[in-house]
């Protein structure tokens, strides 16, 4: 249950506005500020199911590129040769919770994040079985993450530049 406060109304309005405008959104803030709850509430009640679908993925330190690719590919339909997306006449919101949890590899990158960056930079990714490029269409990325520290890693600016970033402040007493 979400108690309606001034902050809840603000965040809900901004989330609804950015999703309706097909703009990527990154909600950042400390643990317990309701980031995931606000987004999940909008995905559950704020989308017209005739034209929208949602995918929710929880990232962890064990999240790999193949897991990320399989999770998203598993929910997409083939539109035509090399083009994949949600069912025809629908858009999909892909919500990634705890975006900055994947482990950093020895070169300083987070492979699942780099895969998602490739989608936002180039419009798709390569099929792991035949190395053909798969164009992904009608996807909109929404993410939530806490600040770095305590197992959470900094996410590269090359990826976060794609998002409208909002900061969820801690609750006032």
pLDDT given for residue 173 in this prediction: 60
- Does 1 fall in a domain? no
84, burial (CB in 10 Å: exposed 0-12, middle 13-18, buried 19+): buried
HSE at residue 141, side-chain half, CA atoms within 13 A, is 26
pLDDT given for residue 66 in this prediction: 96
pLDDT given for residue 67 in this prediction: 96
Residues 49, 140, 113, 85: what is their CA dihedral angle, to the nearest 10 degrees?
A: 70
- Does 172 fall in a domain? no
Per-residue pLDDT of the chain (173 residues; tens, 9 = 90+): 677 788 889 999 999 999 999 999 999 999 888 899 999 999 999 999 999 999 999 999 999 999 999 999 999 999 999 999 999 999 999 999 999 999 999 998 999 999 999 999 999 999 999 999 999 999 999 999 998 887 788 999 999 999 999 999 887 76
* Distances from the Cα of 82 to the Cα of 53, 77, 123, 130, angstroms: 21, 11, 12, 11
The count of structural domains within the chain is 1
Q: Cα dihedral sign for 72, 73, 79, 83?
A: positive
What are the structure tokens assigned to 115, written together?
Answer: 């895969």
CATH number at residue 62: 3.40.50.300
pLDDT given for residue 141 in this prediction: 98
Residue 44: which domain range?
6-167
- Does 46 fall in a domain? yes
pLDDT given for residue 137 in this prediction: 98
- Does 132 fall in a domain? yes
- The residue behind tokens 């509430």 is 41
pLDDT given for residue 3 in this prediction: 75
pLDDT given for residue 7 in this prediction: 84
Is 166 within 8 Å of 28 (Cβ atoms)? yes
């Amino acid at each position: 249950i979400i108690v309606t406060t001034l902050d809840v109304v603000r965040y809900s309005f901004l989330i609804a506005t950015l999703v309706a405008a097909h703009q990527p959104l990154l909600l950042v803030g400390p643990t317990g500020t309701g980031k995931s709850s606000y987004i999940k509430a909008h995905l559950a009640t704020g989308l017209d199911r005739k034209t929208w679908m949602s995918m929710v993925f929880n990232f962890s330190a064990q999240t790999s590129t193949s897991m990320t690719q399989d999770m998203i590919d598993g929910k997409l339909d083939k539109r035509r040769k090399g083009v994949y997306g949600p069912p025809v006449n629908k858009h999909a919101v892909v919500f990634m919770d705890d975006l900055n949890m994947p482990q950093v590899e020895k070169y300083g990158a987070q492979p699942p994040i780099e895969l998602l960056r490739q989608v936002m930079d180039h419009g798709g990714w390569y099929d792991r079985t035949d190395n053909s490029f798969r164009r992904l269409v009608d996807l909109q990325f929404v993410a939530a993450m806490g600040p770095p520290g305590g197992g959470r890693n900094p996410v590269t600016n090359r990826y976060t530049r794609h998002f409208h970033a909002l900061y969820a402040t801690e609750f006032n007493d």
